[in-house]
Copies of this chain bind each other. A is one copy, B any other.
Amino acid sequence: MSEPTREAQRLQTWRGIQAAAIRLVAERGFAAVTVEDVAAAAGTSRRTFFNYFPTKVAALFDPDPELADRLQELVDRAPRTGDAWADLCWICRGVVPRGDDETLALRRRLVGDFPEFTEYVGAAHRYVERALATWAQSRFPADPLHVRLLTGTAGAALSAAFLTWQPDGSTGEFADLLDRALASVRVDPPEPAQR
Q: Which residues in A have some Cβ–Cβ distance to B below 8 Å?
A: 122, 144-146, 148-149, 152-153, 155-157, 159-161, 163-164, 171-172, 176-177, 180-181, 183-191, 193-194
Contacts and interface: CB of A to CB of B under 8 A. Distances in A.
Contact of A148 (B152, B164, B171, B189): B164
Contact of A160 (B145, B177, B180, B185): B145
A148 B153 contact: no
A139 to B, nearest CB: 15
Given A145-B164, A160-B148, A176-B194, A185 B187 contact: yes
Nearest to A162: B148
Given A145-B181, A153-B185, 19 more contacts: A145-B160, A148-B159, A149-B160, A149-B184, A152-B160, A153-B153, A153-B156, A155-B156, A156-B156, A172-B193, A172-B194, A176-B194, A180-B191, A180-B193, A184-B188, A184-B189, A185-B185, A185-B187, A186-B188
